[in-house]
Structure 1
Amino acid sequence: MGAFQAVVTTGIYCLPPCPGRPLPSNVVSFTSQAGAEAAGFRACHRCRPYRAEARLTSTSELVCRAVDLIAEGALDVGNEAALAARLAVSERHLRRMFHDHVGATPDQLARSRRAHFARRLLDDTDLSITDIAFAAGFGSLRQFNRVMTATFRSAPHELRRRRRRADRLVADGGLTLRVPLTAPADGRLSHLARHAIRGIENATTTIYRRTVSVDGDPGVIEISAAEPTDARLITHLPRIEGLIHQVDRVRRFLGGRGWDAFEDGIRAIVADHVGAAAAPSVLGEIVTEYGAPIAGLRQFGLSHLFPTMAVLADFRGTGVDDECALAIRDYSRHPRPNLSR
């Protein structure tokens, strides 16, 4: 059975368990919100499936890789043909695989993700509709209005009027958002606290903070456990455009992935040479020596960005032996994916 159930007599799809009780003969299942929407159904106003994580599962490695690339913004700057080329398949084959596993085309999945993220921003924040359009990855306000109306059967200003009183998040500083999860964040926060790197991370068992780079400019994120199904995220970013990709990155990070593939590789190299227990301290020395300093973050307990590939390509050793230093230089010059997976 699919994760989402649509009712053919009402034209609505839900995230079970929904209070509605339709006849089983009138129910059609879908594996994704995008699939239900591509088939002409709209999200239920009661269970609000757009607020849930897009729990797309597929046995196809190709589809999973494509979905990850879409989440990173591949279709913000390119088309389906370019996406297929990155995956070394034909556009026709890619669309056929998405039809079989998702129920929607790659473009339809990308539009659905943007629309759902924008709907959550309309509920949870007081951002202007224009800001929300660009934060969700839309190219123009006209495109935003068209997609939102097609997805939710209402214009953005009408959707905002419908938000529930408990949805609005108020914070003193930063932009506060909810991040839907598949598992409670508590255990992940405890793990992050044990492995935090001084300078770029400051973590306890209840809150995690780190510096981030947005196109080379520094920012800060704060994550805390909110409810079993949600984490609370506060972002302090240099710009709001493309916020959807930063939030998706946080969701995957809380699900067990590393924040950055290059950073993960350096962490793995240092841990292999000095041991897991000593690695955070050594990495903190490397960050202090080679990372770009950021002023004004004392209140967060943060001070630097993680060093870039270009900087560590000339790494000469801080708290590590010559063999480890050589491994860091080699990896920085020729990064290998999934080194720490």
Structure 2
Amino acid sequence: MAYTWHVTTYSAVVTTGIYCRPGCGAKPLAENVRTFELAAAAEAAGFRACLRCRPYRVAGPVDARAPELVCRAVQLIIDGVLDDGTEAALGERLAMSPRHLRRLFRDHLGVTPDQLARSRRAHFARRLLDDSDLTVADVAFASGFGSLRQFNREMREVFRAAPRELRDRRRRADRLAADGGLLMRLPYQPPYDWDAMVDHLAARAVPGVESVSDRVYRRTIGLDGGAGVLEIGPGEGDVLMLRAHLPYWEGLIHVVERAARLVGVASEPADRLLRDPLLGPLVVARPGLRVPGAWGALEIAVQAVTAQDHSLKETRAQLGRLVKECGQPVPGLTDRLTHLFPSAEVLASSSTGIVQSLAAAVADGRVSLEGGSSEVLLAQLTTVPGLMPDTADWIALRLGHQDVFPRSLHAEVAAEVSDRWRPHRAVAATYLTTY
């Protein structure tokens, strides 16, 4: 059976030099339209964002059909590796030359790594200029720019205007007022099932670190020795609302990206699986399910290995004790949020059993939970004594590896059946384990 997968495209009009997101009301002649899978690629080709549909305000995930190496490179860029690094350093982390890395990006995404990083920073800054009352300088450093000069230059390149001019153009309804913290929109491509996501998070919330009440998810986060709190809940329209209470705003872009990844809004809907005879009915019944992500890679890995021999309730209780004994206290918060999740170094010296073995392997570099391919990650994880291969699969799935299919599910679904869901098998696994 042949499948047609859903792909987000941006339409660029050669006669006007403007690109639009899907659904924009503009009606150009077909012969004047070029399409791009990324807004950054349209910008690299010389097009500027439409003032009507404002593409920078919507979610634009990278199509999962790109090679895994490209997807991992994109994730490293989102995590900030190019904020003050180079394409050469990124290539070194991925064991390839910068030239080969750029060629892969151009072939599959239509943009270089640097161009993608600049576009993401500029789009995030534009959202902050619209939505917040942060100063222009705060917006620059919150968005990952290294200097005000760089910020002004790149905003002019992408949006053809200086940051102060862009703020003057914002619409009245854009501005978000908050009694405390900074309020931001997390856009997603509908449909999106927040109730399913928040139920998943609530069932696995680590006591002292995470809590859910009134359909709002809250958690503590560590930032270079400081502590903060995030709150995520439903918003009006195709957005979630994120409220961030942070000790400083520098690097806010990466906090927001990680929050978006945690609740799955950075991924595409599952409509690409609608034609599948097994999954199609499940997608029709629950079209908005997304693959849950992770805030902290070690946190998810420890949770997964603890759950190998315990129920969800027992796992939460064990993790609660671990956090209370080993986590850094965060005073002044609610009685439900009291600690940061412990670091690998602390767990390696303070915990026991499989958690200690895993933490020690992460602390000394034998296991790298972020940045590598799924094959490398799975191979490293399964060297940890007592860590089951199926547990390694689930860890990789939660860490954003889009084509991982847990081995335990092959008892229910034949390997040749799961192969037809490539490269979206993590989405398939989410549907099969939700029902």
TM-score by length of 2: 0.74
Partner of 2:347: 312
Determine the structure 2 residue equivalent to 1:158: 165
Q: Deviations for 1:116-173, whole angstroms, at most 9, x for unmatched residues?
A: 0000000100000000000000011111011001101111111111111111000101
Cα drift, residue 227 of structure 1? 3.5
Amino acid across the alignment from 1:277: K
Please state if 1:122 is matched with 2:129: yes
Q: Which residue of 2 aligns with 1:206?
A: 215
**1:191 partnered with 2:200:** yes
Offset at 1:216? 2.0
Matched residue, 2:90: 83
Letter paired with 1:112? S
Q: Is the 8 A contact 1:134 1:240 kept in 2?
A: yes
**The one of 221, 244, 248 aligned to 1:239:** 248
Deviations 1:17-55 (A, max 9, x none): 101111111100001010000000000011110011122
> Which residue of 254, 261, 265 maps to 2:263?
254
- Aligned partner of 2:384 in structure 1 is none
State the alpha-carbon separation in 1 of the partners of residues 42 and 228 from structure 2.
36
Give the drift of 1:77. Answer: 2.5
8 Å contact kept, 1:11–1:42: yes
Residues 294 and 85 of structure 1, relative CA distance in 2, 3 Å threshold: same
Aligned length: 332
2:358 is matched by which residue type in structure 1? Y
Give me the whole-angstrom Cα distance separating, in 2, the residues matched to 1:144 and 1:184: 36
Match of 2:421 in 1: none
Note if 1:269 corresponds to 2:278.
no
Residue number in structure 1 paired with 2:27: 21
Of 146, 153, 166 in structure 1, the residue corresponding to residue 153 of structure 2 is 146
In structure 2, the CA distance between the partners of 1:228 and 1:282, relative to structure 1 (3 Å rule), is farther
Correspondent of 1:296 among 307, 327, 332: 332
Distance 1:202 1:16 in 2: 36
State the AA in 1 paired with 2:294: G
Identity of aligned residues (%): 52
| 1: CA distance, partners of 2:147 / 2:294 | 32
Q: Find the counterpart in structure 1 of residue 141 from structure 2.
A: 134
Partner of 2:3: none
User: How many angstroms does 1:314 deviate by?
Assistant: 2.3
Matched with 1:329 is 356
**Considering only aligned residues, what root-mean-square deviation do their CA atoms show, in Å?**
1.4
Task: Report the Cα offset of residue 189 of structure 1.
Answer: 1.4
Letter in 2 for 1:120: R
Amino acid at match of 1:253: L
Structure 2 match to 1:320:
none
- Indicate conservation of the 8 Å contact 2:203/2:312, yes or no: no
Deviation at 1:61, TM superposition (A): 1.0
Question: Aligned ranges for residues 36-115 of structure 1 at < 5 Å?
Answer: 36-57=42-63, 58-115=65-122
Distance 2:148 2:87 in 1: 22
Q: Distance in 1 between matches of 2:47 and 2:231?
A: 36
Structure 2 counterpart of 1:306, which letter?
F
Q: Which runs of 5+ in 2 are unaligned?
A: 1-6, 265-291, 370-376, 378-391, 397-435
Residue 141 of structure 2: SS of its match in structure 1?
A: helix
Residue aligned with 2:100, SS: helix
Distance 2:31 2:195 in 1: 40
Instruction: Give, in whole Å, the separation in 1 of the partners of 2:244 and 2:66.
Output: 34
